[in-house]
Amino acid sequence: MSFIEFVEGPMFYAAAAIFVAAGLWRIIGILRIGKKPDLAPPRGSATAGWWKGNLRHFFPRGLFAERTWMHILGGYGFHLGLFVLLFFAAPHIAFVERFTGLSWPALPRWGFIIAAEIAFAGLIVLWVRRFSDPVMRQISDWDDHIGTWLTFLVMLTGCLALQESVVALRATHMLFVNIWLIYFPFSRLMHAFTVFLSRGATGASYGRKGMNP
């Protein structure tokens, strides 16, 4: 078995299994915590509050936007760029089709390059802010930095792997993808999923009290 066959075969299956199992374990653990019963009579809809809590926080409030505009630009640039790369890059669609038979239209090469540049710029801005801003520096630890570096390496090797004729580049990309998948559920990268639970819980609590999230 060659290295590329190993990282795209057994190692990928193991990494994906750990990603799914550990991710579900964390989410189920959060849901099982529950909350204390609210004895006060409801004044609004918790369900509506859950949706408002999630949707409202996609758009920063004016006061905070003025003070953290660099963080907002970096955050939106990175997350939107990464979303486009993950789901609309031709190699990723081909990889999904190989395992599931599902396929959809892919970005042209120039679109991939633009999305990658936006994602890289956003990630670098967010990381620089982590150690340049006094508050962010205090609340950041090695988990934040390792997650950033791993994500950067996955993206970088992914761009290099566009040269598909060089098998070593594709294998290196898959190696970092597998490491990233294993690390993901045990780190703050899990916020990609838990953010909706936390915002929804806060919104539901406010909505039940008849307040705007």
Task: Write down the domain spans for the chain.
Answer: 3-26+61-208
User: Does the CA dihedral 96-98-102-107 come out positive or negative?
Assistant: positive
- Supply 157's token pair: 């090797």
Q: Calculate Rg over the CA atoms of the chain.
A: 20
Model confidence over 32-55: pLDDT tens digits?
A: 887 777 766 777 777 777 777 777
Q: What is the pLDDT of residue 104?
A: 92
If you search the block for the tokens 């990464």, which residue do you land on?
Answer: 82
**pLDDT at position 155 over 90:** yes
Residue 79: CB atoms within 10 Å: 15
User: Per-residue pLDDT for 106 more than 70?
Assistant: yes
> Which residue did the predictor score with more confidence, 147 or 163?
147
- Write down the pLDDT at residue 202: 76
Q: Identify the pLDDT of residue 59.
A: 73
pLDDT-derived band at 73, boundaries 50, 70, 90: confident
Q: Domain 3-26+61-208 maps to which CATH number in 3.40.50.150, 1.10.10.10, 1.20.950.20, 3.30.70.141? A: 1.20.950.20
Q: Taking 80 as the threshold, does the pLDDT of residue 24 lie above it?
A: yes
Q: How confident is the model at residue 213 (pLDDT cuts 50, 70, 90)?
A: low
Average pLDDT, the chain: 85
